[in-house]
Amino acid sequence: MSAATVPLFALALALGAALLLRLLDGRRPGVDGLFSALAWLALVPLAALAAWPQQATLTQAGLAVALVVALLARDREDLAQSEVALKLAWTLGGALALSWAGESLLATAAGSAVAREQWPALALQLDPYALWTSALALSLLAAVVLLGAAPFHFWLADVVQGARAWQAPLVAAGLQAAGAALLVRRLDGIADFDAGRSLARAVLGLAALLALVAGAATLATQRRPERRVGTLASLQGALVLASLAAFPGAPPFADEGAGALSGWAVHLALALSGAAALARFVPVDNRPAQGAAGLFRRHRLSAIAGAYALLSLAGVPGTPGARWWLAVARALVAAHRSGLVLALAFAWLVAFTVAVREIRSAFGSPEPAAPLPHATPLAARGALWCAAAGLLALIWRG
């Protein structure tokens, strides 16, 4: 399989997993079939954004947020999903508005709206230092919020828990991919402007440190499996921040090659598809003395496929997700960011521990303490296999 076809293959698998889970969604019986199909097709642009995020702009990110809010708000009888839509509207909408203001200030100060052309103009020091530094910090805000990095990680956990199983993975991955792309576009060429590079290095370093430490601390205290998956996704956003904090202006995961950002986003979409589906069948109470969950006792191979997706999201060695953690660790060591290296190690240890503990709890003790729940539907097991097949394809790629 060529490198060019991997994103397309992964896109098809992520959408296939969403369609299988959509077939299970019986919370609104009797809904018009055409309208329901259109709601599922609304995931296609989000999946495309996750597979090819390189060209995303601030306007496209705003349109993606509007699409997500409309998708989640369409069912007014679903209170949890409506609450998620409201949170996304005021959180992401406000961040986008502030970033647009920052972009406008930078364009006014530099006389150009193109990031690469702004840094040489700002290097002439014709504008007050406070003006362009404030504008630069504001312009980065929307990207950090879209990445779901702490302290803005709550929206990812809310989406995975409150949105429907067929919507949450691609919604989260699409918006996070847009956030990563916005950071790359905003910092394009900043290495040629020493003052701007120093400011970006400091701002992104602080954001990455907070995202890794606070995200790991939150993950360790989460009780619901869905919220653990969402918090693991927020740590993926923290990896992008840490990678750019090491070398502002360079592409994230630069050691992984030109398509690294696309590979990261594709992995995120697939890992979330499997891990978020698995979370629906994992017990909330994390006590390994209980009996195994129905999925893990009746369909062990499907459970292993879902567990593999969860472990990949946590960066466990032997999964494709480990390459992104390792790439960031290498970049931070090369940049002599020892504080961030320690924060990364702490976050990885917490993610590893939580993922393994959750799987151990789901497999349970040898002798079940309670009767088994109902059997897991075939479509849900198919969604887990779609995610696992995509992750194995990523390993095959390299």
Give how far Cα 185 sits from Cα of 101, 159, 172, 227, 383, Å.
16, 26, 20, 30, 34
Q: Is residue 118 part of a domain?
A: yes
Tens of pLDDT, residue by residue over 24-34, are 876 554 455 66
Q: Return per-residue pLDDT of the chain as tens, 398 residues.
A: 555 566 778 888 888 888 888 888 765 544 556 667 778 888 999 988 888 888 788 999 999 999 999 999 887 777 888 899 999 999 999 999 999 999 999 998 888 888 888 888 888 877 788 888 899 999 999 999 999 998 999 999 999 999 988 999 999 999 999 999 999 999 998 988 899 899 999 999 999 999 999 999 999 999 899 999 999 999 999 999 999 999 998 888 877 776 889 889 999 999 999 999 998 888 776 555 456 666 777 778 888 898 999 999 999 999 999 999 999 999 999 999 999 999 999 999 999 999 998 888 877 655 545 555 567 788 888 898 899 888 888 877 65
Q: CB–CB of 146/182 below 8 Å? A: yes
From the list 351, 348, 142, 176, the residue with the least C-alpha distance to 261 is: 176
3-state SS string for 272-310: HHHHHHHHCCCCCCCCCCCCCCHHHHHCHHHHHHHHHHH
Number of domains in the chain: 1
| pLDDT the model gives residue 366 | 57
The C-alpha atoms of residue 238 and residue 108 are separated, in whole angstroms, by 31
Q: Is residue 199 part of a domain?
A: yes
Q: Is residue 38 part of a domain?
A: yes
Record the pTM.
Answer: 0.89
Q: Is residue 318 part of a domain?
A: yes
Domain housing 241: 6-397
From the list 62, 241, 73, the residue with the least C-alpha distance to 142 is: 62
Q: Is residue 234 part of a domain?
A: yes
